[in-house]
Amino acid sequence: MNHILICLLTLLFSLSGPAMGEYSDFWQSSKAANRGPVVIGETMARVEEAAAKIPGSKILNDMPDFRSMGMNADQVTSSMMQYNRKWILEQMRSGRQMIDIGADANRATPSIFYQMEQNMLKNYQKLHPEFSGAVSP
């Protein structure tokens, strides 16, 4: 009986790893296909407005209030950047379509957060050629 259990576990693990090759993340892409896209861009008000027009879309709307945690301005910026970087990486790995609404032409100073997202997308695509990247609406 133990041998059968070990064989089944071995089979299960082999199907979820490198042995499956290009299909090893099939479960992720299958789930992602049933969910709306991720919307990114410069200036959250623009992102929220664009996402409201796309059923099932997802945006970064759960950023913790780091200011209320007693952090100084540099610590808040650093914590927000770390949170955003982790979030965008999770979204890219999820297999969901990414929609980039682009830069905000009305901003005087470019957003360091949007610049980071752009760099993350570019570098992730270099490391994962199967990743289609973000599309513009």
Verify that 11 and 47 share a domain, yes or no.
Answer: no
**What pLDDT sits at residue 46?**
97
pLDDT in tens, 30-69: 445 558 999 999 999 999 999 999 999 999 999 999 999 9
Verify that 81 and 40 share a domain, yes or no.
Answer: yes
Verify that 112 and 49 share a domain, yes or no.
Answer: yes
Verify that 45 and 67 share a domain, yes or no.
Answer: yes
Verify that 28 and 40 share a domain, yes or no.
Answer: no
Q: Please check the confidence at residue 5 and state whether its pLDDT lies above 90.
A: no
pLDDT in tens, 67-120: 999 999 999 999 999 999 999 999 999 999 999 999 999 999 999 999 999 999
**What pLDDT sits at residue 9?**
39
Domain boundaries, position 102: 35-135
- 136 pLDDT band, cuts 50/70/90, is confident
Which of residues 29 and 131 earns the better pLDDT score? 131
Verify that 15 and 49 share a domain, yes or no.
Answer: no
Verify that 76 and 129 share a domain, yes or no.
Answer: yes
Verify that 79 and 101 share a domain, yes or no.
Answer: yes
- 21 pLDDT band, cuts 50/70/90, is very low
**What pLDDT sits at residue 26?**
38
Number of domains into which the chain is organized: 2
Verify that 51 and 63 share a domain, yes or no.
Answer: yes
Verify that 56 and 8 share a domain, yes or no.
Answer: no
The reported pTM is 0.73
- 11 pLDDT band, cuts 50/70/90, is very low
Verify that 96 and 67 share a domain, yes or no.
Answer: yes
> What does the chain look like in DSSP terms, one character per residue?
-HHHHHHHHHHHHHHTSGGGGGGTTHHHHHHHHTSPPEEE-SSHHHHHHHHHTSTT-B-------GGGGT--HHHHHHHHHHHHHHHHHHHHHHT--EEE----TT-SS--HHHHHHHHHHHHHHHH-TT---EE--
- 16 pLDDT band, cuts 50/70/90, is very low
